[in-house]
Amino acid sequence: MAPAALGAAVAESHAWVEEPIAGPWAPSTLIDEPKSRWREPLPAGVDSLAFPHFTGSEFNELFTTAELPNLSPISATPPITESAEMDEQVRAEAIERGYQRRSLPANYALMRLIDDGLALQRPAAAAWLALQQDAADHGFELELNSAYRGHRYQREVFLRPLEAPYELDDLAARLEMSAPPGYSKHHTGYAIDISQEGHYHFGSSPAYEWISADNFANAKKHGWIPSYPPDGGRQGPVPEPWEFTYVGVEAILCFHQPPAGDDPLCSN
168 and 90 in contact (C-beta within 8 Å)?
yes
pLDDT in the model for residue 115: 74
Below-70 pLDDT ranges, the chain: 1-49, 258-265, 267-268
What does each C-alpha distance from 252 to 73, 151, 220, 260 come to in angstroms?
24, 28, 7, 16
| Among the listed residues 140, 143, 136, the one whose alpha carbon sits nearest the alpha carbon of residue 116 | 143
Q: Which backbone phi and psi does 245 adopt, to 5 degrees?
A: -120, 145
pLDDT in the model for residue 233: 85
Q: Exposed, middle or buried by CB within 10 Å (0-12, 13-18, 19+), for 1?
A: exposed
Instruction: Report the b/e string of 61-97 with b at 16+ CB within 10 A.
Output: ebbeebebebbeeeeeebebbeeeebbeebbebbeeb
pLDDT in the model for residue 164: 87
The domains located in the chain, with CATH, are 37-266 (3.30.1380.10)
pLDDT in the model for residue 156: 92
| Among the listed residues 176, 190, 186, the one whose alpha carbon sits nearest the alpha carbon of residue 90 | 176
Instruction: Report the b/e string of 249-258 with b at 16+ CB within 10 A.
Output: bbbbbbbeee
pLDDT in tens, 111-164: 888 877 789 999 999 999 999 999 999 999 999 999 999 999 999 999 999 988
